[in-house]
Amino acid sequence: MNTPFPNLENPTRRNLQRLFLLRSVMVAFMLAATLTLFYLNIPLPKLPIAFAVGGMLLLNFMTLLRLQKFSNVTDQELLLQLLGDLLALTVLFYFTGGYSNPLVWMYLLPLTVAAVALKREYAWLLAIIAVSCYSTLVFYYVPLSHLHMHYLAGKSLDIHLVGMWLGFVVSAGIIAFFVTRIGQSLRDYDQMMASIREKSLESERALSLGTLATSAAHELGTPLATMAIISKELAQDLSNQPEQLQQLEIIRTQIGRCKEILSSITHHAGQSRADAGHGLTLSQFLQEAIQRWRDTRPATELVIDLNNGSSDPLIFTDKTLTQAIQNLLDNAADASPERVLFNAIWDNDTLKIQIRDFGNGLSDEVKKQLGTPFFSSKNGNGMGLGVYLTEIILAKFGGTLTLSNHSEGGVLTVVKLPLHKLRIAH
């Protein structure tokens, strides 16, 4: 079974992967430094060095086996890994000069990882242990002879200072490489969690709106039925008055449209796309959606331009998508009751719809809040759900919605919709 968020990886596990790489670099550097000192004929205790380096290699091998499993990695496990590194380093430094060892800077690497990857209590615990180990090495250690000065090609070298210089270079590179990635990993995880929380809130809003719509459909059914009966009786009484009868017919059409919308809320809820619609060419689908809108707004002139080039793909019709287009046309007609422009152009992959009105455009305040549930720019004459619901519907099909002020006045609404989720396979 696929997880809901397949790209969501435990950040502590990712940090353990990076600790594995960091420890590998530390071991490689210790081996290189040891071989260099042996080459310079500086006596070193082989057994303690082999024990410390071998312990870190064994820890890395266990980490590699651990990472092959798919279970999560806990903070406690990462803490134990870092404590193991401190133990190995302390053993190494005790037998190789204690606090005077030029590699003593390696204590900082586990501390840096702990400061970035672990919670505060664990980071401070590790810091206290590291400081205690370092302080102990000031008084208790096995000294090394001939460590400080060595002659090479006639020039004197302070091995300790050379080692400190190399230590700074390596530690700077390791911190820059590994710690920045750990920090980025945590930031990516926080951003992903914020995105998931936002989607969860959107789902809760959509669910509450669906519940509200179902309740409204139930409550409005009775008054609409009453209005339909009364309008039918009025039609009989006004049979000899053509003008009033024509206006009444518009009212009856709108009542029927309301009843159809309310019925579709409950009838089509939860149906699959194949059950909820039928196959049409894209041009037919757009023409049907436009005609349904014209039936509800006959007073507004709609100028249509459909340009399909050479393709007219067969798609599944979807009532929610029809509703999204009608919402946008309603908004345009509310801002520009006289005339609205509708342009649609598509190819085999993408549908682009442009709707332009000739109203007053969008103010800066409206731009900031547009798409927020229950925010309306119609001075109290709207519910503030049209753009919000349209964005949700388009997002379901991978589409986008943008609204901007047209250079010649009014608002230009642009819809871009990929067709692969609607296309019927031949």
Contact 355, 416 (CB under 8 A): no
Give per-residue pLDDT as tens, 78-128. 888 889 889 988 988 888 888 877 778 788 888 887 877 788 888 899 899
Band of residue 340 on the pLDDT scale cut at 50, 70, 90: very high
Sorted by sequence, the CB contacts under 8 Å of residue 228 that are 6+ apart come out as: 252, 255, 256, 259
Strand 314-316 vs strand 350-356: parallel, antiparallel, or unpaired?
unpaired
What's the confidence (pLDDT) of residue 194? 80
pLDDT at 409 over 80: yes
What's the confidence (pLDDT) of residue 144? 67
What's the confidence (pLDDT) of residue 41? 66
Contact 99, 141 (CB under 8 A): yes
Dihedral sign from CA coordinates of 328, 331, 336, 338? positive
What's the confidence (pLDDT) of residue 1? 39
Contact 249, 232 (CB under 8 A): no
Give per-residue pLDDT as tens, 207-229. 666 666 666 666 677 787 788 88
Q: Which residues of 379-393 are buried (b: 16+ CB within 10 A; e: fewer)?
A: eeebebbbbbbbbbb
Give per-residue pLDDT as tens, 370-380. 766 655 565 54
Q: What does the alpha-carbon distance between residue 96 and residue 147 come to, in Å, rounded to a whole number?
A: 10
Alpha helices in 140-179 (DSSP H): 159-174
What's the confidence (pLDDT) of residue 192? 79
What's the confidence (pLDDT) of residue 290? 92
Architecture of domain 273-418: 2-Layer Sandwich (3.30)
What's the confidence (pLDDT) of residue 365? 79
pLDDT at 271 over 50: no
Band of residue 152 on the pLDDT scale cut at 50, 70, 90: very low
Lowest-pLDDT range of 84-93, 252-261, 411-420? 252-261
Band of residue 394 on the pLDDT scale cut at 50, 70, 90: confident
